[in-house]
Structure 1
Amino acid sequence: MTHPYARELGDFLRARRDRLHPRDVGLEPGGRRKVTGLRREELALLAGLSTDYYQRMEQGREVRPSDDVLDALAGALGLDEAERRHLFGLARAARRPVPARPDRGPERVPDSTRRLLRVMDTPAVVLGRHLDLLAWNPMAEVLLGSPDGYPPDRLNMLLLLFDDTQTGERSCPDWERQALEYIGMMRAAVATDPTHPRATSIIGELSIRSAEFRRLWARHDVRVSVSGTKTFRVPEVGDVVLDWDTYPLPGRPGPVMLVFTAEPGSADADRLHLLASLRASRSHGKAAPPAASH
């Protein structure tokens, strides 16, 4: 049976080889080519490896590359720092036996985090390792819509992002960039546990029903995103552009809190304030709902 990390390593190497063209690395394309990227033998030559050895790596066969070999491959492929860490992480995990019973305990949101969510006056959510929406505050509900109507297993940022019947996300101008960020975060999570049932369920479903997801997932982009910018299309106030930052919570691997903010005094801050006012008027006379979870 192929080691799951070796298979993931092979897929990653193949995707990175396919994105390189001969002229990118100082080679002449030559005559007719059957591949759009580098051939295996070309990459092996650049990395100083035998073609047979490199081919076995791509096929996920039992090879245990040294750090020197990984260094050579990272250089030949032109990997950035995140991709390099990903390569080394997969290769080192592939050297170890597959654990009989991986540690897959439930993800929990601390009570102190729930209290913090309730008093925050800016949108914030808690995401699990596979982008499940574990908790949120009232401002996030105003911005993202109420999650109460969703079954618990559908409260996942990737599933929602690719579900046209449930969200208007695809109409946002930065939809593909956001999709790539979420997919990159999921890819990083898969690298820590390729056979996790939740990951395989989400990826399997989206691979079946979304050609766009298949295309983006096949890129094998890896992102450990800690901050960024996102545009929300909110019917009441129009587009709202917010910065977001992530804050790790206790656990291994633990959930993260995703907090959205606007520059003070900006038009986006005014729109966010207007949304808060609209929420207050809608809930007039009612207690604010507590941060929800599943």
Structure 2
Amino acid sequence: MDRDQLAEFLRTRRARLTPREAGLPAGERRRTPGLRRQEVAQLAGMSVDYYIRLEQGRGPHPSRQVLNALARALMLSQDERAHLFHLTGQALEQPGAAGRRRGDVPANILHLIHFLEEVPAFVLDAKYDFLAWNPLARAVMQGLDSAGPEQPNAIRWVFGAPDLADHLADEEKSRFARAAVADLRAASGRYPGDAGIRALVAEMLALSPEFAALWDRHEVEVRREQRKVIHHPLVGAIEATCQVLPVPDRDDLRLVIYTTEPGSPSHQALRELRRLIAAAGHAGWNVG
């Protein structure tokens, strides 16, 4: 159980919730945003002293009943509720989850992305390392093969970019950065003993104030689908839906596919990019 992370998570979730959202009277003017500790305890049906000890990182190990009550009181999303359980070492039960472990990309997934010739497709692990990709993915994202000795990593790319300020000023790109950090926060709860995730977080906290600011929000959200606009120097803008699909029986891996509307200019742009790859003779398929 990570008492410090649990305490911080509870404080940040309490601070974002208004009395009106929680169904409480606003009352007199408040000095700080969010609910008071007494109000959270009241909504969760527990003593104020018990809740205060949890927020101070010195409380007892909460039961599943207490966690469910806190999740309701703080109006947590499904992803946030799962994160709350993970922080206390009480992962939610999931059918078929027994025996899963981190590891290499399954052969059937490698075959799948190889035969997905008309869409960019790649595999990410829980800490956003690129493990495998097809030719269109390499062409669309550019630079996958130039990461040097390190495994290419999406978090490092975003927050280590020299044009990060411009990147974050763009609403869509800023939304991706925020979602990626929230997803990494969720992964850190699912895999508390993962040295790779801990090392990446420590590295980014030391190197990127922008990452640190987002990390300190304690936002939690598992990535599933997102709209993206990719500006490619050869074929122009590509409007795509980023589909994030869990790999069966490997909950630490995600298959990511960029799809476009059939017959749209973006679809034609991807076809043109594929033609250029073939003309250049680049196989472009890689396993990290």
1:151-230 maps to which residues of 2 (within 5 A)? 151-153=148-150, 155-165=152-162, 170=168, 173-230=171-228
Q: Determine if contact 1:118/1:137 at 8 Å carries over to the other structure.
A: yes
Q: Determine if contact 1:172/1:232 at 8 Å carries over to the other structure.
A: no
Residue 29 and residue 205 in structure 1: after superposition, are their counterparts in 2 closer, same or farther (change >3 A)? farther
Q: Determine if contact 1:131/1:158 at 8 Å carries over to the other structure.
A: yes
User: Aligned AA for 2:234?
Assistant: E
User: 3-state SS of the aligned residue for 1:153?
Assistant: coil
**Over residues 61-102 of structure 1, what are the superposed CA-to-partner deviations in whole Å (9 max), with x where a residue is unaligned?**
3523233322332222122222223323433539xxxxxxxx
**Over residues 6-26 of structure 1, what are the superposed CA-to-partner deviations in whole Å (9 max), with x where a residue is unaligned?**
333222211101112334332
Residue 27 and residue 91 in structure 1: after superposition, are their counterparts in 2 closer, same or farther (change >3 A)? farther
1:251-290 maps to which residues of 2 (within 5 A)? 252-283=250-281, 288-290=283-285
State which of 31, 46, 49 in structure 1 corresponds to 2:46. Answer: 49
State which of 83, 105, 112 in structure 1 corresponds to 2:108. Answer: 112
Structure 2 CA distance, aligned partners of 1:175 and 1:289? 26
Structure 2 CA distance, aligned partners of 1:150 and 1:185? 23
TM-score normalised per structure 2: 0.85
Residue of structure 2 in register with 1:74 after alignment: 71
Residue 265 and residue 172 in structure 1: after superposition, are their counterparts in 2 closer, same or farther (change >3 A)? farther
Q: CA deviation at 1:105?
A: 6.8
User: 3-state SS of the aligned residue for 1:233?
Assistant: strand
**Over residues 152-187 of structure 1, what are the superposed CA-to-partner deviations in whole Å (9 max), with x where a residue is unaligned?**
435111111112238885575411211122122212
Q: CA deviation at 1:240?
A: 1.2
Residue 131 and residue 92 in structure 1: after superposition, are their counterparts in 2 closer, same or farther (change >3 A)? same
Structure 2 CA distance, aligned partners of 1:67 and 1:109? 34
Q: Determine if contact 1:187/1:220 at 8 Å carries over to the other structure.
A: yes
Q: Determine if contact 1:169/1:233 at 8 Å carries over to the other structure.
A: no
Matching of residue 146 in structure 1 with residue 156 in structure 2? no
Q: CA deviation at 1:127?
A: 0.4
Q: Determine if contact 1:190/1:199 at 8 Å carries over to the other structure.
A: yes
Residue 27 and residue 111 in structure 1: after superposition, are their counterparts in 2 closer, same or farther (change >3 A)? same
Q: Determine if contact 2:83/2:190 at 8 Å carries over to the other structure.
A: no
Q: Determine if contact 1:230/1:243 at 8 Å carries over to the other structure.
A: yes
Bigger mean CA offset, 248-257 vs 16-25: 248-257
The CA RMSD measured in Å over matched residues stands at 2.7
State which of 1, 16, 26 in structure 1 corresponds to 2:13. Answer: 16
Q: Which runs of 5+ in 1 are unaligned?
A: 95-102
User: Aligned AA for 1:130?
Assistant: K
Q: CA deviation at 1:290?
A: 3.1
User: 3-state SS of the aligned residue for 2:138?
Assistant: helix
User: Aligned AA for 1:231?
Assistant: V
Aligned residues: 278
Residue of structure 1 in register with 2:231 after alignment: 233
Q: Determine if contact 1:124/1:139 at 8 Å carries over to the other structure.
A: yes
State which of 80, 85, 89 in structure 1 corresponds to 2:82. Answer: 85
Structure 2 CA distance, aligned partners of 1:12 and 1:90? 9
Q: CA deviation at 1:52?
A: 1.8
Identical-pair percentage:
36
Residue of structure 2 in register with 1:98 after alignment: none
Residue 235 and residue 20 in structure 1: after superposition, are their counterparts in 2 closer, same or farther (change >3 A)? same
Bigger mean CA offset, 77-86 vs 24-33: 24-33
Q: Determine if contact 2:100/2:249 at 8 Å carries over to the other structure.
A: no
Structure 1 CA distance, aligned partners of 2:27 and 2:153? 44
